[in-house]
Homo-oligomer: A and B are copies of this chain.
Amino acid sequence: MGIIVQKYGGSSVATAEHIKAVAGRVARTRRSGVDLVVTVSAMGKTTDNLLRLASEVSENPSPREIDQLLATGEEQSVALLAMALSDRGIEAVSLTGPQAGMRTTGRYGSGIISEVRPDRIKKLLGEGKVVIVAGFQGMNSLGDVMTLGRGGSDTTAVALAAALGASRCEIYTDVDGVYTADPRIVPAARRIPEISTAEMAEMAWRGAKVMHPRAVELAALYGIEVHVKSSFEEGPGTVIRGGDVLEHLETRETVAGIVHDLDVSRITLRGIRTGPGTLSKVFEPLAGRGISVDVIVESANRAGISDVAFTVRRGDYEEARELAGEVASSLGGEAEGELGLAKVSVVGTGMLNRPGYAARMFASLGRAGIPIRMVSTSEIQVTCVIPVERVEEAVRSLHRDFELEERDV
């Protein structure tokens, strides 16, 4: 049956009882005859608690030390899961990211997997062991542990699946699949049985919490089939497959779902002189500091003078605001910022092929009286930046107006 990689999130291993339940599920899968690699997040609120401790001892902790600290969370849960499996008669060995051959590059706190050297994992699988790998971490070229940023355990799982040639990657989480909208906001939201990696990647980038966007992209790149399932109940979950999931395209609406993101800040450079290379002057300093910029809007005021606005996460806001201020001054303008925003997105394959979806979205938000601050569109999504306090209303309006309740998903 080949190799299966399973990933269990923090809520799935929050307590000793949860860990024993995961061990039971892993043991059942193992007994069905597959070779198993399992990657696990830190227990429940461990990462948050460690970050709180860090903020108590230091006002400005070094990213390297934060990574040294946070990596211990996953190291604890893998050791505990290995123990719980041994008690069930399953031979299991836990490995830290560095031990498992996960090599990383990039910035501390948002490391990128550069390579997986799976020799030790393969050797252990060959000995009949279940291998438990600490998610969310790897080793950089200095020999230091590095974390992949929040949600990185998903990426660990997909990268392992790719490196090991696994037949599939199973993501166990606290929900039973990917939904057409957040069911806490839209009670009529439905589970999506099958979705393309392209759509899933957009939904993840635009705020769907069920799977980390980089993990979805990696799955798309290596053609890994991903199953998202609940770790608390049995069920079919959502299958994420490469390509357009052709068998579904003809029978279903183009819109897959509505996603939202509550962590949005906007920075605007007003009245700057523009010309060739202006945008790179604005965005290169941000890229140099590793700040992710999302929605970007440029609007020409008058000849040679423009406003440029973009969104960043709250955690990057101060730094981005300062950099933008410097650039704006050098271009004869000024920078201003706005917190308390959110994004709401309509995601679906081939939206540009069936025009009118953006207009339909604006109309829906307009009827609800929700102001739109910025707009961004791509082939498979339309995103509007709106005030954060209007998000729930917006998601419900869009879910209704795009007839996602009605649809036979």
Residues of A within 8 A of B (CB): 16-17, 19-20, 23, 50, 53-54, 56-62, 64-66, 68-69, 71-73, 75-76, 78-84, 86-87, 93-94, 96, 99, 143-145
Contacts and interface: CB of A to CB of B under 8 A. Distances in A.
Given A65-B79, A72-B72, 18 more contacts: A19-B57, A20-B57, A23-B57, A50-B76, A53-B80, A54-B80, A57-B80, A57-B84, A57-B87, A58-B86, A60-B87, A65-B83, A66-B83, A68-B75, A72-B73, A72-B75, A75-B75, A96-B145
B53 A99 contact: no
A69 B83 CA distance: 10
A76 B51 CA distance: 11
Contact of A58 (B62, B65, B69, B84): B84
Closest 3 CB pairs of A and B: A16-B56, A72-B72, A69-B79
Given A72-B72, A99-B144, A60 B80 contact: no
Copies of this chain present in the complex amount to 2
A145 B53 CA distance: 24
A59 B54 CA distance: 33
Secondary structure of the A side of the interface? Answer: helix
Contact of A79 (B60, B68, B79): B68
A58 B87 contact: yes
A65 B53 contact: no
A207 to B, nearest CB: 31
A69 B65 contact: no
Contacts of A64: 93
Given A16-B53, A16-B57, A56-B16, A86 B62 contact: yes
26 contacts: A16-B56, A19-B57, A20-B57, A54-B80, A54-B83, A57-B80, A57-B84, A57-B87, A59-B87, A60-B86, A60-B87, A61-B83, A62-B86, A64-B93, A68-B79, A68-B82, A68-B94, A68-B96, A69-B76, A69-B80, A71-B75, A72-B75, A75-B75, A96-B145, A99-B143, A99-B144
A73 B69 CA distance: 10
A383 B400 CA distance: 82
Contacts of A23: 57
Contacts of A54: 79-80, 83
A72 B76 contact: yes
Nearest to A16: B56
Contact of A82 (B65, B82, B83, B93): B65
Contacts of A60: 86-87
Contacts of A94: 65, 68
A270 to B, nearest CB: 37
